[in-house]
A = this chain, B = another copy of it.
Amino acid sequence: MSVTLQKSVLEQAQEDFIAQWGALGTAWGINRTMAQIHALLLISPEPASTDEVMEHLEISRGNANTNLREMVGWGLARSVLKRGDRKEYFEGEKDVWKIFCIIARERKRREIEPASLVLKNCAENTRGLATAEAKVFHRQMVELGEFVGLTSSILEKIAASEQSKVMPKAIKLFS
């Protein structure tokens, strides 16, 4: 005999949030499981253990462990200890601005900086070449490189700021 417990509206919304946030993970360059764990910790009032994460998301121990570890590495989660308990518990970062900054920095590091490096090299290696074609290419690399570099530094500045300092400015400029 199988019993289906009625889910409360709240539980339903929470599950939706976790499922959909996870689905979005891919688009955000974050894998699905990590995004789901992030969602779970975000709405969890108490820190959760690896076992709780495994159970709630129905994932393996290895998967849970690896992703929790990586989240701690990013700063999206912190590990906390409960006295009298050997288990490790994890608490999600809940400040929206901090989450944004962490993700922005990580993406800058993984996406923008390598691009910038490629462009710099290509520009450097073709400096001073005489043919028209080479000059065009060199110019393109310089231009792209400058653009990417500027973008990078803007992102860096934003991610290093307080939300209360950036948002008002941004709103003023763009609303």
Q: Which residues of A contact B (CB under 8 A)?
A: 9-10, 12-14, 16-17, 20-21, 24, 27-29, 42-43, 45, 94, 96-97, 100, 107, 110-111, 114-115, 118-119, 121-122, 125-126, 129, 131, 133-134, 136-137, 140-141, 143-144, 147, 150-151, 153-154, 157-158, 167, 169-171, 173-175
Contacts of A129 in B (CB 8 A): 9-10
Q: Contact: A21 with B147, CB < 8 Å?
A: no
Q: Contact: A20 with B118, CB < 8 Å?
A: yes
Q: Contact: A115 with B24, CB < 8 Å?
A: yes
A158 — nearest CB in chain B belongs to which residue? B174
Q: Contact: B96 with A144, CB < 8 Å?
A: yes
Taken together as a complex, chains A and B put the C-alpha atoms of A141 and B20 apart, in Å, by: 13
Taken together as a complex, chains A and B put the C-alpha atoms of A3 and B21 apart, in Å, by: 54
Known contacts A114-B24, A125-B12; decide if A96 and B143 are in contact (CB<8 Å): yes
Contacts of A126 in B (CB 8 A): 9-10, 13
Q: Kindly provide the distance from the CB of A141 to the nearest chain B CB, expressed in whole angstroms.
A: 7
Q: Which of B16, B107, B122, B158 lies in contact with A118, CB distance below 8 A?
A: B16
Q: Which of B96, B118, B121, B137 lies in contact with A24, CB distance below 8 A?
A: B118
A148 — nearest CB in chain B belongs to which residue? B96
Q: Kindly provide the distance from the CB of A119 to the nearest chain B CB, expressed in whole angstroms.
A: 8
Q: Contact: B153 with A174, CB < 8 Å?
A: yes
Taken together as a complex, chains A and B put the C-alpha atoms of A150 and B154 apart, in Å, by: 18
